[in-house]
Structure 1
Amino acid sequence: MLCKDPRGIKSVILGKGDITIEEFVSVARYGAEVQFSDEYCEKVKHSKSLLEKFLAENRIIYGVTTGFGDNVINVISPSDSVKLQTNIIRSHACAVGAPLEEELVRGIQLIQLLNTGLGYSGVSLKMLELIKNLLNKRVIPFAPGEGSVGYLGVEAQLSLVLLGEGKAWYKGELLEGGEALERAGLEPIVIECKEGLSLLNGTTSVTAIAVLTIYNAIQATKAADIAGALAYEAMQGTLKACDKRLIDRKKHIEQSRTAENLLSILKDSEIAKASMNLRVQDSLTIRPLPQIHGAVKRTLREAATSVVEEMNSCSDNPIIFPEDGDGIALMGGNFDGAYVGIHMDAACIAMANLAKLSEAKVDRLVNRHLSGYPAFLVKNPGLNNGYMIPQYTAAGLVGEIRVLSHPSTIDNVPTCASQEDPVSMAYYASKKAYEVSKKLEYILAIEIMTELQALDFINDLKLSTATQAVYDLVRKEVPTVEEDRYFYPDMEYIKALIHDGALVKCVESITGNLKF
């Protein structure tokens, strides 16, 4: 899983099969160009022609010739089909609060293209071309990110730009939607039959946020293995806890892979070799690393499978089937976000376990009663506070993660005159998981910063080749602490190394791919 660096992917072609997490991230985060295959275009055109046929025949189809939600009892004339679709975008654009980050907006737009481009939505190629051009020309719709029970509000807000309404950023400037299109050389469109519903429907925002979360989380688990190896050196722990004979007695492949990662990273460590028989067994900050990291990875692997499947699915309603005689529109519940939402709740819990273990290592290292090092890892404690307060920061972040790890999808508030009585609450499950993934990166950064400082007190034994490479990479911008200084830039630098994959890449250039 995660075999390619998304920064190296320059274009992604839709319609030639399922796309990967790395391809998604390459577009959403790093601006890779989106292209449509001939197969993609043909499927869209055929589905659109079928929907036009249904409309001409005045078939009763939800959201096409009926109102929305509890208004399903109201029949809509085919002559009002365009007005109906414009109305749903304008009326549903009720999200509030701060706007979503650029990569989240781009991710939602990409999911819109994937969802409706499978040939089951009846939308026009013209509309999808405009969304593609917004992505490729980096026109970023303004989309407030609060107030969704699963979908609709956020999607409507960013879809306003297709009408030349709402707001959007272009080249760093927030503009009226129509002006942003004009500056980018684009024109607004008239939203046609079913298109407004298809843009708003389904798990687009839920899934987009989840894909980026999973990418962050997988990178973080690999970084956690690296931090764990540093912890074994900094705490002079015994690698007997990673002995294959012991590890393989549990039939969890992720546990075995984690132990293999630790042993690979520390393969030629003089510190690890000298510490092998230093004590009978270590504290729980490092002894069960393979078990805890393995359990986290198992949960994230299952979440990733669910998210990738959803990313490449059609979550629209109704769905247009071209292969059933002269075609049929089926109304159902593919829009529901339970698959992704439940797994994002689980991902929060998994990442919380990784976070609490990481913070525990920081606490142990700065505590002179437990570490064997000077207080707070500074040579002149008292006058200097050293790494006293970064541990506070890590503890505070763990506290925030615990609150965010309360499951969202178990909650329910009926909507739409109880036509939508159970709602998924999956949007917030994904959104809070995304926030947890970023907080976890900071905690791991603080752990690595602390471990390297501890290792500066060990002068007579060498680090492993891999951990020495990490040491050299970090020390380019984060020097050893001799006396108190401003630590914020240090933490941000290491966090960036984790977030963009540079830390993992540094180690994998020596060990080969770390196992997940």
Structure 2
Amino acid sequence: MTTHAKNITEVTLGDGQITIDEFVAVARHGARVSFSDAYVDRVRHSRGLIERFLDENRLIYGVTTGFGDNVTEVISPADAATLQRNIVLSHAVSVGEPLSVEVVRAIELMMLVGLGQGYSGTSIEVLSLIRDLLNNRLTPYVPGEGSVGYLGPEAHMVMPLIGEGRVWVDGEVVDARTALADHGLEPVVLGCTEGLTLTNGTHSVTGIAVLLAYDAVRAATVADIAAALSLESLKGTIKAFDARLQTMKKHPEQAAVAANVRRILDGSDIVEKYRDYRVQDTYSLRAIPQMHGGAKRAINDAQTVIVEELASVGDNPVIFPEGDDGIALMGANFDSTFVAIQADLVVNAMTVLAKISERRTDRMVNSAFSEMPAFLSPVPGLNNGYMIPQYTAAALYMEMKAASMPATVDSVPTSANQEDPVSNAYLAVTKAYRMVGKLHHVLGIELMCAAQAHDLRPDEAGSAASRRVRELIRSVVPTVTDDRFFGDDMEAIAGQVADGSIIAAVEDVVGALD
């Protein structure tokens, strides 16, 4: 399933639900954002309601009360703006290495998506400034560690809106107020509830999760491609992928994986030659439909939940525009447990894909199993060949396994026990987001070894799709004859995994994969 996020140049918010492709187009590829008339109307109506509530001095959390355990403290309407500025300044306390530009952009976009639904009371002026930051590629500098689910990173993200903090401009970190002025933009003064709406909620968790879902789905497809090339390289039997066998398990993902492998290897002389070479293969070849299929089910289920959250309102309070009066309801829609549990599950699913991929890599470099020269070197002994890249794959798999402990089961109470359990969703999604990168490298190493294995048997023709993948790899990584520096090779192929090039190469031959 090839997507075209990088080909989308503008996304209009407000007339329908944003798609994952559109979301990634903005966050990763710099597509411009605009608002529909309906978007602007909804936002202005909601803003009018919250300002009326303030004028009437209604008792509403974060509008006329303090935050967290300070909910018992009543705030004068005269102090509304100070209250909102204070939440931003006091909550900007995340630490450590900064979040990547694409992650910050994803969170900013999620702010626009969520707050633009017209249930939060944020003004169109504030949302327009966030849009302008995105469109001018002024990206807030956001330390990325120290969040139990929200607040800290978001507050750093809001700082430039009020003329504080720093932003990335063309790879350099500069003063936010100066950067705004250089682009003809001015800071805003946050009105009632706006500091809360921008820092509270599911913005960061959902924004990162959308990127995670996009990448994990595609990595799972690359896993099928890498497995097919390895099956060909190791003289595996295609019989284990027979469609009749898959019907005995009632999991559609298993049948889809088997169908992908059959299509990728269609027309392979190698596959036909070795169809009956063994009675059955080792698990890492024979169980590809079952193990890949199980992982894909988890990833697909996670994507469904993440898309649901993308269409949700994760704020507190929620402003319902019922008639001219309206009502503010306080609850816990800011909680991200739905997404967090799925992010934890995606880590486990990706680790399963890494586990079986590394085993296939090991079989290709191990001459006891591969029936090829040791470590895929034409002159083993003098040359180490791909001995150590397999170490790298093994280490990455173990790192992923160590990260598979669910974050969502953990909790430390905060805010004087007012928030007695916390979702820990931020850790869940940031961990999962990092693990996709490790999986890209594990799959890249398998593809690198499979390409070399094919080169060692030049007289045996693979399928058209496998030849296309090998040609793509060889466009950036030459065949190994003598030992050389393999680090750049591994990074180059991992890049092809990450950017969709591997999938595109196969789908150009066989059509869209499931």
Band of TM-score, shorter chain: over 0.9
SS of the equivalent of 1:383 reads: coil
CA distance in 1, matches of 2:482, 2:214: 37
Maintained 8 Å contact 2:2/2:500: no
Q: Which residue of 2 aligns with 1:35?
A: 34
Report matched runs for 1:409-428 at 5 Å. 409-428=408-427
User: Displacement, 1:177?
Assistant: 1.2
Maintained 8 Å contact 2:2/2:503: no
Q: Which residue of 1 aligns with 2:402?
A: 403
CA distance in 1, matches of 2:208, 2:320: 28
Question: What amino acid sits opposite 2:349 in the alignment?
Answer: A
Q: Which residue of 2 aligns with 1:328?
A: 327
Structure 1 residue ranges without an equivalent (≥5): none
Q: Which residue of 1 aligns with 2:240?
A: 241
CA distance in 2, matches of 1:399, 1:293: 18
SS of the equivalent of 1:35 reads: strand
Residues 362-371 or 277-286, more deviating:
362-371
Q: Does 1:103 align with 2:102?
A: yes
Question: What amino acid sits opposite 2:314 in the alignment?
Answer: S
Structure 2 residue ranges without an equivalent (≥5): none
CA distance in 2, matches of 1:456, 1:473: 14
Maintained 8 Å contact 1:345/1:407: yes
Maintained 8 Å contact 1:48/1:122: yes
Q: Which residue of 1 aligns with 2:367?
A: 368
Q: Which residue of 1 aligns with 2:447?
A: 448
Residues 92-101 or 469-478, more deviating:
469-478
Q: Which residue of 1 aligns with 2:511?
A: 512
Report matched runs for 1:103-142 at 5 Å. 103-142=102-141
Relative distance call for 1:281 and 1:212 in structure 2 (3 A) is: same
Report matched runs for 1:147-296 at 5 Å. 147-296=146-295
User: Displacement, 1:169?
Assistant: 1.1
Maintained 8 Å contact 2:378/2:456: no
Maintained 8 Å contact 1:237/1:282: yes
CA distance in 1, matches of 2:196, 2:8: 32
CA distance in 1, matches of 2:371, 2:262: 24
Q: TM-score of the superposition, structure 2-length normalised?
A: 0.99
User: Displacement, 1:382?
Assistant: 1.1
CA distance in 2, matches of 1:459, 1:278: 19
Q: Which residue of 2 aligns with 1:18?
A: 17
Q: Which residue of 2 aligns with 1:72?
A: 71
CA distance in 2, matches of 1:454, 1:324: 69
User: Displacement, 1:219?
Assistant: 1.1
Question: What amino acid sits opposite 2:460 in the alignment?
Answer: L
Relative distance call for 1:460 and 1:171 in structure 2 (3 A) is: closer
CA distance in 2, matches of 1:66, 1:373: 72
SS of the equivalent of 1:286 reads: helix
Kindly provide the CA deviation profile for residues 400-459 of structure 1, in whole angstroms up to 9, marking residues without a partner as x: 101111100000100000000000000000000001100000000000000111111222
Question: What amino acid sits opposite 1:60 in the alignment?
Answer: L
Question: What amino acid sits opposite 2:233 in the alignment?
Answer: A
Relative distance call for 1:3 and 1:383 in structure 2 (3 A) is: closer
Q: Which residue of 2 aligns with 1:59?
A: 58
Give the superposed CA RMSD. Answer: 0.9
CA distance in 2, matches of 1:8, 1:112: 23
Q: TM-score of the superposition, structure 1-length normalised?
A: 0.99
Maintained 8 Å contact 1:139/1:184: no
CA distance in 1, matches of 2:181, 2:341: 41
CA distance in 2, matches of 1:421, 1:103: 32
Q: Does 1:301 align with 2:300?
A: yes
User: Displacement, 1:4?
Assistant: 3.0
Q: Which residue of 2 aligns with 1:429?
A: 428
Provide the aligned length of Structure 1 versus Structure 2: 514
CA distance in 1, matches of 2:73, 2:36: 39
Question: What amino acid sits opposite 1:173 in the alignment?
Answer: E
Q: Which residue of 1 aligns with 2:43?
A: 44
Question: What amino acid sits opposite 1:139 in the alignment?
Answer: L
Kindly provide the CA deviation profile for residues 181-204 of structure 1, in whole angstroms up to 9, marking residues without a partner as x: 112221111011100000011111
Q: Which runs of 4+ in 1 moved over 3 A?
A: none
Maintained 8 Å contact 2:114/2:314: yes
Maintained 8 Å contact 1:162/1:188: yes
Identity among equivalent positions (%) equals 53
User: Displacement, 1:171?
Assistant: 2.2
Question: What amino acid sits opposite 2:3 in the alignment?
Answer: K
Q: Which residue of 2 aligns with 1:357?
A: 356
Question: What amino acid sits opposite 1:500 in the alignment?
Answer: D
Q: Which residue of 1 aligns with 2:346?
A: 347
User: Displacement, 1:117?
Assistant: 0.4
CA distance in 2, matches of 1:125, 1:512: 44
Kindly provide the CA deviation profile for residues 158-189 of structure 1, in whole angstroms up to 9, marking residues without a partner as x: 11000110010112221111011112221111
Residues 217-226 or 453-462, more deviating:
453-462
CA distance in 2, matches of 1:36, 1:224: 38
Q: Does 1:467 align with 2:446?
A: no
Kindly provide the CA deviation profile for residues 295-319 of structure 1, in whole angstroms up to 9, marking residues without a partner as x: 1110011100111111121101000
CA distance in 1, matches of 2:461, 2:323: 69
SS of the equivalent of 2:283 reads: coil
